[in-house]
Amino acid sequence: MRPDVVIIGAGIVGACCAWSCARAGLAVTVIDRGPVAGGTTGAGEGNILVSDKEPGPELDLALLSRAAWAALGDEIGGPCELDAKGGLVVAARQETLDHLISFAESQRAHGVIAEHVAAADLSQHEPHISPDLAGGVYYPQDMQVQPMLAAAHLLDAARRQYGARVMTNVEVLGIDRDAEGSVTGVRTSQGVIDTRYVVNAAGTWGGEIAALAGVHVPILPRRGFILVTEPLPPLIRHKVYAADYVANVASDSAGLETSAVVEGTHSGTVLIGASRERVGFDRTLDWKVVQRLAAQAIEVFPVLADVSLLRTYGGFRPYCPDHLPVIGPDPRAPGLLHACGHEGAGVGLAAATGDLIAQSITGAPSSLDLSAFSPARFEAAHV
Amino acid sequence: MSDVPFTLDGEPMRAAADQTIAAALMERGIMSWRTTRFDERPRGILCGIGVCYDCLITLNGQPNVRACITRVESGDDVRRQDGVGR
């Protein structure tokens, strides 16, 4: 059967696109050269955050996506550890806290719920938190999800409920376009699939897929590692991170940046992030990163000093030079849509991205102005 | 052969020199020394090379020690472990 839309990428963004498109009545085929959630998604933590977004298009998208995730949690039908646990951002020094509080004030004007937490009250939110912090801000809208489970259950639900097709270990070799430039099909390692619409949800490798269609989308890899502790009794209630994480996310530095991001999981392990560095596609584990992440986590939660690490994992966060994702139709290649470049926020932004892509294809009114995310913004720089 | 005294849940035992905790226990027919944290299912050796973290045991008060790659030392206090061991 000829699908209406071929989605390239079986990570969380591709899975959300598949779910939203299938639910909108489109015949969907998902293709991935590896397994489900085997690339960008499987290297992430499962953040659904509004707290780390400054006012602007990405915050609007994050708020929309947070609401979409809350609804998805009821629809997926399988366990994906979706948890509206809230986020607690903490500052070690008064100067950082002052900056955090004014940042939170600016977010509040755009629909973010943010509550200042005095130093003396931090332990009411997190009993094991360091007594040496200057204070923090609590963000009850922040959520967490297990991204591999979510991707798998979403794809499974799209398949069972709407007949979507999921093809793993199938590589895309080319994207065919007609004389007018419109997409006509996808060439794969298992033959040609005719289709009018192709969604590029290839995460860190989104630039390569765009190139197959003859268009330039500058997606670059930013390496990040996460530490995994031994399973522990419940110690950490929220997603807790240091205020300098926000500055690191927005930074353009190529060097190593680390800031403590600590959270418990349903299985009992504690995840410790987050590092960012631009080293291309080099996956080599750097022990300096492990040491820094561990030390920073212990500064926030001294109880972790007596805990063993089981392992680390890492991968690449796909980012664009302007740190905004690429979402929507590509005017240079009619029928091609992009849903990639979400950097470290892809899991959180996936639910709304899926809805917006489905709206673009079906012609339904868009829930959000996509102009800031448009692939057309790259045209001038690269004709 | 010189051997090394230790205890399992307080019961005196002896291991061969340089023997791992797992080997010493299995030689005595003890194949399981931990229960899982969710369903309390029995666990012992699986990979035997320190990778799978299935053979965890509490050693001298420290939980989650890998029995398969940890040698018995004289006087070790080895304890079976339930769940996260804390």
Tens of pLDDT, residue by residue, chain A (383 residues): 799 999 999 999 999 999 999 999 999 999 999 999 999 999 999 999 999 999 999 999 999 999 999 999 878 866 899 999 999 999 999 999 999 999 999 999 999 999 999 999 999 999 999 999 999 999 999 999 999 999 999 999 999 999 999 999 999 999 999 999 999 999 999 999 999 999 999 999 999 999 999 999 999 999 999 999 999 999 999 999 999 877 766 666 768 889 999 999 999 999 999 999 999 999 998 889 999 999 999 999 999 999 999 999 999 999 999 999 999 999 999 999 999 999 999 999 999 999 999 999 999 999 999 999 999 898 754 44
**Is the minimum CB–CB distance between A310 and chain B shorter than 8 Å?**
yes
Please indicate whether, in this complex, the C-beta atoms of A268 and B64 are within 8 angstroms of each other: no
Residue type, A19: W
**Is the minimum CB–CB distance between A178 and chain B shorter than 8 Å?**
no
The predicted pLDDT at position A105 comes to 97
Q: Which residue in chain B has the smallest CA separation from A233?
A: B84
Taking Cα atoms as reference points, which of A320, A310, A302 lies closest to residue A260? Answer: A302
**Is the minimum CB–CB distance between A234 and chain B shorter than 8 Å?**
no
Measured between beta carbons, which residues in chain A are less than 8 angstroms from residue B53?
Answer: 230, 310
In A107-146, the residues whose Cβ lies within 8 Å of chain B are none
**Is the minimum CB–CB distance between A307 and chain B shorter than 8 Å?**
no
Q: Would you place residue B77 in the very low, low, confident or very high pLDDT band (cuts 50, 70, 90)?
A: very high
Distance in Å, alpha carbon of A231 to nearest chain B alpha carbon: 6
In B36-75, the residues whose Cβ lies within 8 Å of chain A are 37, 53, 63-64
Residue A330 phi/psi, 5° resolution?
Answer: -95, 110
The predicted pLDDT at position A249 comes to 67
Q: E strands of chain A, at which residues?
A: 5-8, 28-31, 47-48, 87-91, 115-118, 135-139, 143-144, 165-167, 172-177, 183-188, 191-194, 197-200, 220-229, 239-242, 257-264, 270-276, 309-319, 326-329, 336-340
Residue whose entry in the numeric block shows the structure tokens 């930074």: A251
Q: Which residue in chain B has the smallest CA separation from A310?
A: B53
Distance in Å, alpha carbon of A232 to nearest chain B alpha carbon: 6
Measured between beta carbons, which residues in chain A are less than 8 angstroms from residue B63?
Answer: 230
The predicted pLDDT at position A188 comes to 98
Cis peptide before A254 (omega within 30 of 0): no
Higher pLDDT, residue B56 or A78: B56
Distance in Å, alpha carbon of B38 to nearest chain A alpha carbon: 9
Taking Cα atoms as reference points, which of B62, B72, B73 lies closest to residue B26? Answer: B72
Q: Which residue in chain A has the smallest CA separation from B66?
A: A310
Percent of chain B with pLDDT over 90: 97
Q: How many CB pairs under 8 A join A and B?
A: 15
